[in-house]
Amino acid sequence: MLERSIARWIRVDAAALFLVALSAVTATHSSWMWFFALFLAPDLSMIGYVFGPRVGAVTYNGGHLYAWPVGLLAAGLTYHAPFATTAALSWIAHIAFDNVMGYGLKLPIGFEHTVYGPIGRAGASSA
């Protein structure tokens, strides 16, 4: 778990990145309809939890790393692919929003255990 002051800085950083992603949607003339339609798509990575907390953490964390959508954004901008650009911005915004809300990367002991500390029922029981 992160120290509270470090977690706070990461959340502020994520909030700035979320706002940049939203601004980039307008700047790149991306589709707001597709942006919102794809916003929760990264959470499909939770399906890995069907196979247990270790596999779930790997799949969830893999879907919530900035490297993938940044690569997709670079490709979308390079090849003038508006859908890829919109999908990448939506993905980046999703990851940033999760971090702002405290739903960071998961620990392999269970979905409710994040690098920020416990969430959901685990967080309520530790409070």
Domain ranges of the chain: 4-126
Q: What is the DSSP string of 51-102?
A: G-HHHHHHHHHHHT-THHHHHHHHHHHHTT-HHHHHHHHHHHHHHHHHHHHT
For 52-80, the pLDDT digits (tens) are 999 999 999 999 999 999 999 999 999 99
- 68 or 118, which is more confident: 68
Give tens-digit pLDDT for 2-52: 688 888 999 999 999 999 999 999 999 999 999 999 999 999 999 999 999
Structure tokens of 11? 């959340």
* pLDDT tens digits, one per residue of 74-109: 999 999 999 999 999 999 999 999 999 999 999 999
